[in-house]
């Protein structure tokens, strides 16, 4: 397998880990630990502490994925035949990659906000549902991740 193939494999794996975590958090974990009014199921940890524990456990994997995603992405982009140079946006491929990079910057910002919400939620002592800010931020991060995948697929065809 060529170096380009290994880089692409690493880039895709990092993307799947990163996006998969946020989709799983927004679509499965948060809804699973959110108690409906009147629900008497036992809660082992307060919800915020549980979410913070999940985040702490996932953080090394997420940081490694972000590092791999950025390193392989830069290498793949600069070695692509469509790449015209930094700041040169000619053609659909370059335009899609520019949009993708803007979405990735948005993901980094939303991810930082989400991490802050999870840290604050980890300090709670009551078994209440996560705050609306945390829920919407997790959903936004998952949506941005899916958008990155869609843009990447579109760029492959451009």
CA 152 centroid distance within chain: 14
Residue 13 tokens, joined: 């794996």
Q: How many CA atoms lie within 13 A of 108 on its CB side?
A: 11
CB atoms within 10 A of CB 37: 5
- Range of 36's domain? 3-157
CA 30 centroid distance within chain: 15
Task: Give residue 28's pLDDT.
Answer: 82
Please tell me the total count of domains within the chain: 1
Q: Write out pLDDT tens, residues 108-155.
A: 899 889 888 888 777 776 655 567 787 888 899 999 999 998 998 888
Crossing angle (nearest 10°) for helices 132-157 and 91-122: 160
For residue 14, is pLDDT > 60? Answer: yes
User: Locate tokens 């549980």: which residue?
Assistant: 50
Mean pLDDT score, 64-77: 86
Task: Give residue 128's pLDDT.
Answer: 59
- CA–CA–CA angle 41, 122, 47 (5° rounding): 15
Q: What is the DSSP letter of 26?
A: I
Range name among 65-69, 70-74, 129-133 with the lowest pLDDT average: 129-133
Which pTM was predicted?
0.76
């Amino acid at each position: 397998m060529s170096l380009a193939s290994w880089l692409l494999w690493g880039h895709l794996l990092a993307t799947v880990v990163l996006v998969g975590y946020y989709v799983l958090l927004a679509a499965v974990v948060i809804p699973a630990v959110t108690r409906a009014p009147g629900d008497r199921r036992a809660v082992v940890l307060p919800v915020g502490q549980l979410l913070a524990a999940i985040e702490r456990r996932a953080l090394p994997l997420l940081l490694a994925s972000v590092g791999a995603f950025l390193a392989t992405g830069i290498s793949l982009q600069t070695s692509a035949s469509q790449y015209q140079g930094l700041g040169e946006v000619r053609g659909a491929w370059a335009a899609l990659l520019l949009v993708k990079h803007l979405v990735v910057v948005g993901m980094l910002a939303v991810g930082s906000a989400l991490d802050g919400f999870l840290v604050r939620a980890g300090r709670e002592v009551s078994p209440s549902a996560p705050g609306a800010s945390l829920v919407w931020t997790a959903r936004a991060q998952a949506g941005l991740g899916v958008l990155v995948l869609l843009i990447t697929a579109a760029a492959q065809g451009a």
